[in-house]
Structure 1
Amino acid sequence: MQGRYLVFIYAYTRIFKRSPAEADMRRHFEVTAPSVHQMVITLEKAGLIQCQPGEARSIQLLVEPEALPILR
């Protein structure tokens, strides 16, 4: 599931020229807000993304696009 979130963050950022809000991920994955928030925390602890505390839409992908999984 982490890979899907990473790909979503990458694609969303490329398309909209800004990082997604947690609400965008919640709508896309059809999960609860706490589920998305926990995934963001998990990805950040794993060193895959970086967020600026208190700043909206601050998710920054720390993984090279080539390293992202190919979703089918």
Structure 2
Amino acid sequence: MRCGGDLDAMEGRLRAFAPAWLACDLRVTMRRYQEDGAVATEAEIERFADLLGRRPGSYRDFAAEAAREWRSA
């Protein structure tokens, strides 16, 4: 689904195959990501570290590792 920053278009396309409540919820979620991003505070990182028993890895590291695995498959 390619809608760029047009959340109205995204919600409209989602309504073609998803319930209206879900399309609306995803629109609100995406607006927050567009406005604030998905960056955790240091306190949130520490909380997740306590839950995981280690500090969470970065998305960049995850993507690099996944790409290496896909290339070797």
TM-score in terms of structure 2 length: 0.34
Higher strand share: 1
Q: Which of the pair has more CA radius of gyration?
A: 2
Which of the two has greater helix per residue? 2
Higher relative contact order (CA 8 A, sep 6+): 1
